[in-house]
Amino acid sequence: MNSRKFKAIGILIITVFTAAILFHGFYFIKNYKEAYYNFTQDVTLAFDTALKNYFDELSKSDVIVITDIQEGSKKKVKTDSSELSHAITRDFFQRFSESPFSKKGSQILEKKVKELDGLNITQIVIEGDFKEEEVFLDKKNDIVMMAGRKAADSVFSLKSISNKLVISVSRDTLDFELLSNYFNDELRENNLDITYGIQHLKKDSVIGSYNEDLVKAMPLLYTADEDLLPPSEKVNLAYENASLAILQEGFINSSFSLAFFLLIIFVLGFLYKTIKNQKDLAEIKNDLINNITHEFKTPLATISTSVEALQNFNPENDPEKTKKYLHIGQQQVNKMNAMVEKLLETATLDSEKLMIKKEAIQVSTFCQELIERYQNHNTDKKIICDFADNNHILEADKFHLENALSNLIDNALKYGGNEIQFTYQFKENHHCFSVMDNGGNLSKSQSKKVFDKFYRIPHGNIHNVKGFGIGLYYSKKVIEKHDGKLELHISKNLTHFEACLP
What are the extents of the domains in the chain? 3-57+174-245, 63-164, 359-501
pTM: 0.42
Q: What is the rounded distance in angstroms from the CA atom of residue 332 to the CA atom of residue 303?
A: 7
* Least confident range of 252-266, 268-282, 337-351, 415-429: 337-351
Among the ranges 165-179, 208-222, 277-291, 395-409, which has the highest mean pLDDT value? Answer: 395-409
The CA distances from residue 393 to 227, 252, 270, 389, in Å, are 96, 63, 47, 12
**Residue 206's Cα: distance from chain center in Å?**
44
- Res 77: pLDDT: 32
Confidence at 78, pLDDT banded by 50, 70, 90 = very low
- Per 3-state DSSP, what percentage of the chain is helix, strand, and coil (rounded to 5)? 50, 20, 30
Could you tell me which residue, 87 or 250, shows the higher pLDDT? 250
Give pLDDT tens digits for 18-60: 887 787 778 777 777 777 788 888 888 888 888 888 887 777 6
pLDDT (tens digit, 9 = 90+) per residue, 84-122?
333 444 455 555 555 554 544 333 333 333 333 333 333
pLDDT tens digits, 426-458: 888 888 888 888 876 666 766 677 777 666 665
Alpha-carbon gap, residue 502 to 485, rounded angstroms: 9
| Residue that wins the pLDDT comparison between 466 and 438 | 438
- DSSP letters for 86-132: GG--HHHHHHHHHSGGGGSTT--BSS--S-TTT-----B---S---T
Please state, in angstroms and rounded to a whole number, the distance separating the CA atoms of residues 351 and 364.
32
Beta bridge partners of 196: 239
- At residue 352, the pLDDT reads 61
For residues 262-269, give the mean pLDDT.
81
- 228 pLDDT exceeds 60? yes
Residue 74 has pLDDT above 60, yes or no: no
CATH 1.20.140.10 fits 359-501, yes or no: no
